[in-house]
Amino acid sequence: MNTTITRRVEYLPRSRRRLVVAVALAGYPAAVAVLAGLKHTSLNRGLILALFLLVLLLTVAALAVGYRYARGRIDGRGARLDERDLALRQQAYALSHRVLAAILIAATAATVIYLTSGNTLRLDANNVLPATIWVIVYIPALPSLMLAWIETDQPADA
Amino acid sequence: MPDYQRQVHNRLAVLRAERGLSRKQLAEKLGINYQTIGYIERGDYNPSLELALTIADLFRLPVEAIFSLNPMTPLSEEIFGEPPAETR
């Protein structure tokens, strides 16, 4: 059962893998946005929570697939890495750095634009906690997700 | 394969089939993962010089008989010349 799931994930076509990576990356910010956007509406609290948990569950599932696909090739644990794996890991780390830089620059620019438009930003648990969770979850996961993003489809067994 | 790399063509699949080796068996002999053999055969991964020389040594062939920067012609054609037009 476990081997079947691993093999299915291992042979996921790149288009599907990229969809999984996109869901993993956008899922948590989307869940937080859903919660923040809907909590001041008259919508039923239970429905908002259910929606939040659904998006969160999809994110966790997508992250798990990303990790499973990387098969320990990022941290080198549980996998014997050959030269292709090592080259791929380097590419994944390089792409992670570029993605992280783009996200940080975009977030900084958005904050600056928001603040220079006469708004104020209050730092409290409501906005620091989601950012902290994002850092804790995504920074370690990013190289595995990028590996799943860049690797070409596995050749069929022969 | 990164965009800046040229594709290296190879005869690995033919040689492997000729010797009756599966990807897993060849990978075990070379000390690499079996998927890497598939990627090399498909031209999606260019092996390092060390790996290319190890492969050449394993098949007891010169490295240029297995790897080339130009598309490879069938071995029979190289040995016996071009086939007649009707068989092409």
- The rounded distance, in Å, linking the Cα atoms of A15 and B21 is 31
Cα end-to-end span (Å), chain A: 23
pLDDT above 70 as % of chain B: 92
**What is the tens place of the pLDDT at every residue in B62-85?**
999 999 999 888 777 777 777 767
- Which residue did the predictor score with more confidence, B10 or A36? B10
Residue type, B56: A
Q: Any chain B CB within 8 A of the CB of A157?
A: yes
SS3 A139: helix
| For residues A136-153, average pLDDT | 94
Please tell me which residue of chain A has the smallest CA distance to B22.
A158
Question: Mutating which of A9, A73, A83 best tests the B interface, going by the most B Cβ atoms within 10 A?
Answer: A83
Cβ contact A83–B51 (<8 Å): yes
**What is the tens place of the pLDDT at every residue in A73-120?**
888 776 789 999 999 999 999 999 999 999 999 999 999 999 999 999
Q: Is the per-residue pLDDT at B47 higher than 60?
A: yes
pLDDT above 90 as % of chain B: 70
Q: Which neighbouring-strand residues pair with B68? A: B9
Map tokens 């975009």 to a residue. A106
Q: Any chain B CB within 8 A of the CB of A124?
A: no
**Residue B3, pLDDT score:** 67
Size of interface A-B (CB pairs under 8 A): 39
Phi-psi region of B82 (alpha: psi -120 to 50; beta: other; left: phi over 0): beta
Question: Mutating which of B14, B18, B35 best tests the A interface, going by the most A Cβ atoms within 10 A?
Answer: B35
Average pLDDT score, chain B: 89
> Smallest Cβ distance to B36: which of A84, A156, A157?
A84
Q: Which neighbouring-strand residues pair with B67? A: B10
Structural contact between residues B44 and B1, judged by C-beta atoms closer than 8 angstroms: yes
Q: Any chain B CB within 8 A of the CB of A82?
A: yes
CATH superfamily of the B9-87 domain:
lambda repressor-like DNA-binding domains (1.10.260.40)
Taking every pair of Cα atoms in chain A, the longest distance, rounded to a whole number of angstroms, is 64
Residues on chain B touching A158 (C-beta within 8 angstroms): 13, 22-23, 38
Residues on chain B touching A85 (C-beta within 8 angstroms): 33, 36
Domain segments of chain A as ranges: 2-150
Phi-psi region of A65 (alpha: psi -120 to 50; beta: other; left: phi over 0): alpha
Structural contact between residues A157 and B23, judged by C-beta atoms closer than 8 angstroms: yes
List % helix, strand, coil for chain A (3-state, nearest 5).
75, 0, 25
**What is the tens place of the pLDDT at every residue in A22-35?**
999 999 999 998 88
Map tokens 């039923």 to a residue. A44
